[in-house]
């Protein structure tokens, strides 16, 4: 509060009330967006973990020798479909304890110099077999030189 001659300059009660009202509306809108941001962050973390697991599975399949029928790290069959359940840390666990469900569908090469092809699908939560009801999924195509 400053005095100028006979006048006192200060905020009126109406101005203070309006400022508090504007601040309250801004804070309420920010607090309303917090749950959306937290859910988006959780989904992003799940996708990142799933993509990292997908990369590890693909690397494991690519490192499988041409004479082996099962990958060395995850034990995925390179000649048929395999369903594997993984925990948070990426190790194989029983279905009840799993966080991720890995489904690999690999077709052997038709002969000659063609590559074995297939796809790898990782979905979560692992207990959900119906992909339309899964919280999320990542999928990739893979070609393996098995000749």
Q: pLDDT at residue 100 above 90?
A: yes
pLDDT tens readout for residues 105-129? 988 776 666 678 889 999 998 888 8
pLDDT mean across residues, the chain: 87
- What is the pLDDT at residue 45? 93
Residue predicted with more confidence, 132 or 57? 57
| Spatial separation of the C-alpha atoms in residues 44 and 52, rounded to whole Å | 12
**Residue 134 — pLDDT band, cuts 50, 70, 90?**
confident
Cβ contacts of 73-76, under 8 Å, gap ≥ 24: 74/102, 76/102, 76/104, 76/106
Residue predicted with more confidence, 21 or 6? 21
Length of the chain: 147
Residue predicted with more confidence, 6 or 73? 73
| Spatial separation of the C-alpha atoms in residues 31 and 124, rounded to whole Å | 29
Q: pLDDT at residue 139 above 90?
A: yes
Please tell me whether the peptide bond between 125 and the residue prior to it is cis, using omega within 30 degrees of 0.
yes
31: its two tokens: 């607090």
What is the DSSP pairing of strand 2-4 with strand 100-107?
unpaired
- DSSP state letter for 81: E
User: Which backbone phi and psi does 55 adopt, to 5 degrees?
Assistant: -65, -40
- Rounded CA Rg of the chain: 28
pLDDT tens readout for residues 33-63? 999 999 999 999 999 999 999 999 999 998 8
What share of the chain has pLDDT > 70, as a percent?
90
CB atoms within 10 A of CB 46: 17
């Amino acid at each position: 509060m400053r005095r100028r001659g006979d006048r006192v300059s200060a905020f009126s009660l109406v101005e203070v009330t309006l400022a508090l009202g504007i601040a309250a509306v801004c804070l309420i809108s920010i607090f309303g967006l917090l749950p959306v941001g937290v859910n988006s962050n959780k989904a992003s973390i799940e996708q990142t973990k799933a993509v990292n697991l997908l990369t590890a599975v693909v690397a494991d399949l690519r490192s499988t020798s041409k004479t082996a029928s099962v990958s060395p790290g995850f034990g995925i069959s390179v000649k048929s479909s395999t369903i594997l359940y993984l925990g948070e840390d990426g190790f194989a666990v029983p279905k009840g304890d799993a966080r991720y469900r890995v489904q690999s569908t690999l077709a052997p090469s038709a002969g000659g110099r063609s590559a074995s092809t297939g796809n790898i699908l990782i979905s979560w939560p692992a207990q959900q077999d119906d992909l339309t009801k899964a919280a999320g999924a990542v999928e990739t195509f893979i070609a393996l030189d098995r000749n």
